[in-house]
Chains A and B, each alone.
Chain A
Amino acid sequence: GAVVSQHPSWVICKSGTSVKIECRSLDFQATTMFWYRQFPKQSLMLMATSNEGSKATYEQGVEKDKFLINHASLTLSTLTVTSAHPEDSSFYICSARGRWTVGGRTDTQYFGPGTRLTVL
């Protein structure tokens, strides 16, 4: 099965509302989570990096008050898009690095299947 899952896979919301995207790891302790945004026909752009139990480090130009990241446990990270606007419509992908719950460390970075956000 997939190491990293995301929920929901797609979401449509009204402008001004907040949307939470969950990223979970299975049989894997995600000590570091990465959140990417991908606009249509473009590459993945790193938004922020978070280590479990610590505040996220945001890339330049990414508003930390708008994109709230919580990485409270080794298996769950959430991205909340606050007061979403149509320009926030994008494909959001999480990615995890860490260690297997059983079996030791790996430096492979695992990607979730992504969440498509559409803001009307």
Chain B
Amino acid sequence: AQTVTQSQPEMSVQEAETVTLSCTYDTSESDYYLFWYKQPPSRQMILVIRQEAYKQQNATENRFSVNFQKAAKSFSLKISDSQLGDAAMYFCAYRSANNDMRFGAGTRLTVKP
């Protein structure tokens, strides 16, 4: 079974600074997707960024970018120019070819003004 590991239960960043959230996963599949989701206090899951495993280029969405290391099975999220609104729980997720999505334990991000 696939597992997703987020080793940082909590992270803190100063407003306008950059922070990197770590994620590793374990799989024997070659075709899969990786995601970062944000869950604010409202509990609504919001897609931040996604990466197809077959793509070598790291995905980027405005201030959010990933460092996808397929061989190392690592998928970290970098948030640049952090804003107060970025404060939330961040979940790394893996979706296999059979469409099953599994989540890591989450990282709580605090943004200090």
Query: A and B from one assembly?
Result: yes
Query: Closest CB of chain B to A96's CB: distance in Å?
Result: 11
Query: Is the C-beta of A49 less than 8 angstroms from some C-beta in chain B?
Result: yes
Q: Which residue of B lies closest to A109 (CB)?
A: B101
Across-interface contacts of A32 in B (CB, < 8 A): 99
Query: Closest CB of chain B to A31's CB: distance in Å?
Result: 10
Query: Closest CB of chain B to A9's CB: distance in Å?
Result: 10
Q: Which residue of A lies closest to B47 (CB)?
A: A108
Q: Which of A15-53 contact B (CB under 8 A)?
A: 32, 34, 38, 42-46, 49
Give complex CA distance A54, B51 in Å. Answer: 30
- CB-defined A-B contacts under 8 Å, sample of 19: A32-B99, A42-B106, A43-B103, A43-B104, A43-B105, A43-B106, A44-B103, A46-B100, A46-B101, A49-B99, A49-B100, A91-B43, A97-B99, A108-B47, A109-B101, A111-B37, A111-B44, A111-B45, A113-B43
Q: Which residue of A lies closest to B104 (CB)?
A: A43
Give how many A residues have a beta carbon under 8 Å from the other chain's beta carbons.
18
Across-interface contacts of A93 in B (CB, < 8 A): 43, 45
User: Which 6 pairs of residues, A with B, have the shortest CB-CB distance?
Assistant: A111-B45, A43-B103, A44-B103, A114-B43, A43-B105, A113-B44
Cross-interface CB contact of A44 among B44, B47, B91, B100, cutoff 8 Å:
B91
Q: Which of B54-113 contact A (CB under 8 A)?
A: 91, 95, 99-106
Chain B contact residues: over half helix, strand or loop, or mixed? loop
With a 10 A CB-CB cut-off, give which of A44, A91, A95, A108 has the most chain B CB atoms: A44
Task: Say yes or no: B42 contacts A113, CB within 8 Å.
Answer: yes
Q: Which residue of A lies closest to B4 (CB)?
A: A43
Query: Closest CB of chain B to A17's CB: distance in Å?
Result: 24
Task: Say yes or no: B99 contacts A46, CB within 8 Å.
Answer: no
